[in-house]
Structure 1
Amino acid sequence: MFRIGHGYDVHKISLEQKPLMLGGIEIPSELSLEAHSDGDVVLHALTDAMLGAAALGDIGHHFPDTDNRFKDMASSHFIHETLKALKQHQFQISNIDITIAAQAPKLAPFIPKIKASIAKMLKLMENQVNIKATTTEKLGFVGRKEGIACYAVALIYPV
């Protein structure tokens, strides 16, 4: 029986000068994101999608932003821990589909690196991971460059 999970995350653009992390890759940009962890909106949405598919709650339950253990933590840690939980509950990932909504920076040149990064983290083949980037045609908070949003879907199955 296949199970599907959907994840969504958004982070506000920060004035602080720190790396912009998306999908485990540092994106060259003057922009960064406000967050308790490293602010990787892609990995946060993906974590939620994986947890949701397995009916294991959400990122806020497992990795609360009120817990200082996760302060400035690389979001790849959330992915690794969630992957362990999936294996513990005897689930395997079939495929991942992710859409990043950002007016800036332009992400098309980085999509292959993000895809490879996520495939490696999840121990999947690259053809099991799809990454898309879009703008919001200058509409809403994303269009005004106030934040970056991400949508993720994970399909899993029992092993």
Structure 2
Amino acid sequence: MLFGIGYDIHRLVENRKLVLGGVEFQYPLGLLGHSDADVVLHAICDALLGAAALGDIGEHFPDTDPRWKGVSSKVFLLRVVDLLKERRCLINNVDVTILAQRPKLGQKKIEMKKNIAEWLCIDVSRVNIKATTMEGVDAIGRGEAIAAQAIASLCEER
């Protein structure tokens, strides 16, 4: 069994869409980044890449490359899945914690789970999404940023 950990954080700004786990939120602020800045998918990508010892998201999709400007992070995740297949790694499960003071995620977590399971080609029961606030502490707690942590486990095909 192989394990990897991922983390991502982006600042909230005006005039950007807020996308988390491939789900668009109706919210006045969005995450600032070169791509759509989906911290959930970015953290998952890093966890998967880490488990397979394939580097990190910045190596594969650098923010200096104009090809990735404004692109959906789903593109990144699907490419990571392809890399894992080439490496003969099977995804066992993914667990994500979203750190956000707001918006409240509620039922959107179910949509995120379905998206992620579909894109990773695993059963939805193998994807877990949790959320927590920062109780008003730091940039996340002040509503200035959103972050996500992820852990993934892989099995190597024999």
TM-score, normalisation: structure 1: 0.97
Partner of 2:142: 144
Deviations 1:19-73 (A, max 9, x none): 2110011111112010000110100000000000000000000000000000000
Gaps of 5+ in 2: none
Partner of 2:12: 13
Partner of 1:88: 86
When structure 1 is superposed on structure 2, of 84-93 and 103-112 the one drifting more is: 103-112
Partner of 2:47: 49
Q: Name the CA distance, whole Å, in 2 between partners of 1:84 and 1:61.
A: 16
Following superposition, the deviation at residue 18 of structure 1 comes to 2.5
Q: Name the CA distance, whole Å, in 2 between partners of 1:109 and 1:31.
A: 19
Following superposition, the deviation at residue 109 of structure 1 comes to 2.3
Cα RMSD for the two superposed structures = 0.6
Following superposition, the deviation at residue 14 of structure 1 comes to 1.1
Q: Name the CA distance, whole Å, in 2 between partners of 1:98 and 1:146.
A: 20
Contact 1:108-1:133 at 8 Å conserved across structures: no
Q: Does 1:70 align with 2:71?
A: no
Q: Name the CA distance, whole Å, in 2 between partners of 1:108 and 1:133.
A: 9
TM-score, normalisation: structure 2: 0.98
Following superposition, the deviation at residue 94 of structure 1 comes to 0.4
Amino acid corresponding to residue 106 of structure 1 in structure 2: K
Amino acid corresponding to residue 92 of structure 2 in structure 1: S
Partner of 2:3: 4
Any idea what SS the aligned residue of 2:110 has? helix
Q: Name the CA distance, whole Å, in 1 between partners of 2:16 and 2:141.
A: 22
Q: Runs in 1 of length 4+ with deviation above 3 angstroms?
A: none
Any idea what SS the aligned residue of 2:85 has? helix
